[in-house]
Chain A
């Protein structure tokens, strides 16, 4: 067979499917909007002026390229594989989220949309969206679960400082999935002027592909930087997964490099067990349809969606991007889970050994690095995505470590 047909990088197909996953499971009111978005994205994707604008802002506003950093003391401490961290936590707003937001907002402007809506869990995507909207003078409305508004107060204040309206979502159980439901309800009501800026590689086609394409800058840079540092490809890629956008961004440019091991790390919460106190959709869920796409979901026997549980609000989503679901089924990527306790150990180790306070999301990825690195040879190259910084998490961590912040 021709190499092109063996590529893992051709998805999605014209129906927005990665294998059997993805698709466009939305109400008729939204369908014409999604088709228009797809059309406009296809045009912009091949328009050099679109990418010129992106590249300029990535460089001067976001601060790209982010460094690929050899974590020397961590490597020494674990005593095995050579560990590199892709420093996307150094981006403006403190996480990888802005890579994608910038792309969608530039697209929204080209489409003549004047009002931007977004959902947010931990608040990082909300902050990134509020930031770029402030920069361009666009109206911004962020839906956030009432429970998350309570536990992520600093990010709520940041969004408000940036001029965004933050709407606490009390419908359902007031979590990230409910925030996404309410954002969809807003979109279905305000169809003419509103652009829905989704924060992860999920939702109806073309979102999973579009968000991946904007986040793929992470993997493209990492590949070049690794060649510069080591003259070759990394052996293993590791990234944390909630919806899966930072992971997809790192993985995508390496999918056809068949010797590169790819590992996604889901939030195991209190442990992946029958009690569902976790957010590991791939390791603990099964295929279903929610929020416009078919993917692995946490659900009960009757197809009702369950709430996830994780110490990390950014991983607290009962689904996962459809491309990950496909990569899981075909075995191109491996997916594992890490518990809250393991993530906290990685968090403190990273502070101690590298002087980097990681977000709780990449702390999950780091915890898996800690598990596998000691058993690997010293010339084995690991590239882990440090997708966010931990400033937002210090209150949560303080509570677990028994510090009194009041």
Chain B
């Protein structure tokens, strides 16, 4: 049982929805980023998604692209990303951390070496956008063997015929992408999302968490109400990009998590 499995079991027992927050590792610099990550559980975040900066984030909108560029310009690396997790773990051994990003930095490191390092740093799961089930033997299967969850994205284009393939080697939770599009664009609609979540839940016992296009406490509540929880990323990253201090960003995160937890 990973920290992710344990967290969702606890939430279920309490009858609570999950609130997942995404932040970019190293944005705008290492120290600020670490401070923000450390504050997330106190702001009601159940699962932390830690973005791994990449030069070519093809599935991300401008907000997260720019966050990645700021991080890279500040000297962020895969090692330093893992170091944020490792430092966080010194004081928190229960909040799950999921690394989210693209395959090349991991492939460049070497999959086996990376998995050992990620596990040692206290990472619990991976969301790698450019690894569909067709490429499972690359990282998904080795990661599961190493005891990390591999969380797959299901999307509006994933039809019923394809869904079993997407769910097959997924663990931890299923991340449903509410819109066809990139992060930070559009607006997730509970009425559209609800039947899609039901469609996925008919084929899996895993929690279904919905992300993309959720920007406000109201949206957080509305979407969490029709799923097992929701993810907010760009809206949080955008607050940080405005130059707001960490405590103000965390106050905003608290309004989002309160929304989800009210659902």
Contacts and interface: CB of A to CB of B under 8 A. Distances in A.
Contacts of A23: 134-135
Contacts of A348: none
Nearest to B61: A185
Contacts of B132: 24-28, 31
Interface in B99-155: 102-109, 129-135, 152-155
Contacts of B107: 288-289, 294, 303
Nearest to B79: A302
Interface string A177-201: 1100100110011110000000000
A33 interface: yes
Contact of B103 (A33, A191, A289): A289
Interface stretch (B86-94, B156-164, B218-226, B251-259): B156-164
Contacts of A185: 58-59, 61, 181-182
B65 interface: yes
B173 to A, nearest CB: 15
Interface in A290-316: 290-292, 294, 297, 299, 301-305
A82 B109 CA distance: 47
Contacts of B56: 172, 177-178, 181, 290-291, 305
Nearest to A30: B157
Contacts of A31: 132-134, 157-158, 162
Q: Is the interface of B mostly helix, strand, loop or mixed?
A: loop
Interface residues of A, number: 36
B77 interface: yes
Nearest to A205: B134
Nearest to A185: B182
Contact of A28 (B78, B177, B185): B177
B72 interface: yes
A33 to B, nearest CB: 7
A28 B152 contact: yes
Contacts of A288: 104, 107-108
A137 interface: no
B62 A27 contact: no
A28 B200 CA distance: 15
A184 B65 CA distance: 14
Most chain A CB atoms below 10 A, which of B55, B107, B109, B155: B55
Interface string A27-43: 11111110000000000
Contacts of A184: 58
Nearest to B60: A185
A46 to B, nearest CB: 23
Given A32-B159, A188-B181, A305 B134 contact: no
Contacts of B156: 29
A29 B105 contact: no
Residue of B155, B156, B177 most packed against chain A (CB within 10 A) = B155
A205 B159 CA distance: 20
Contacts of B129: 27
B189 interface: no
B246 interface: no
A181 B58 contact: yes
Classify the secondary structure of A's interface with B: mixed
A188 B59 contact: yes
A22 to B, nearest CB: 11
Contacts of B78: 302-303
Contact of B131 (A25, A171, A172, A177): A25
A275 interface: no
Contact of A27 (B77, B130, B162): B130
Interface in A1-23: 15, 23
A26 B158 CA distance: 13
B106 A191 contact: no
Interface in A54-97: none
Given A27-B58, A172-B56, A177-B56, A289 B181 contact: no
A32 B135 contact: no
B105 A304 contact: yes
A290 B56 CA distance: 8
Interface string B176-187: 010011100100
28 contacts: A23-B135, A24-B134, A25-B103, A25-B130, A25-B131, A25-B132, A27-B153, A27-B155, A29-B59, A29-B157, A31-B162, A32-B162, A33-B157, A171-B62, A181-B58, A185-B59, A185-B181, A188-B59, A289-B102, A289-B107, A291-B58, A301-B108, A302-B77, A303-B78, A303-B106, A303-B109, A304-B104, A304-B105
Interface of B: 54-59, 61-62, 65, 69, 72, 77-78, 102-109, 129-135, 152-159, 162, 166, 177, 180-182, 185
Given A24-B134, A299-B108, A303-B104, 16 more contacts: A25-B131, A25-B135, A26-B130, A27-B59, A28-B153, A28-B154, A29-B59, A29-B155, A31-B134, A32-B158, A185-B181, A188-B180, A188-B181, A301-B108, A304-B54, A304-B72
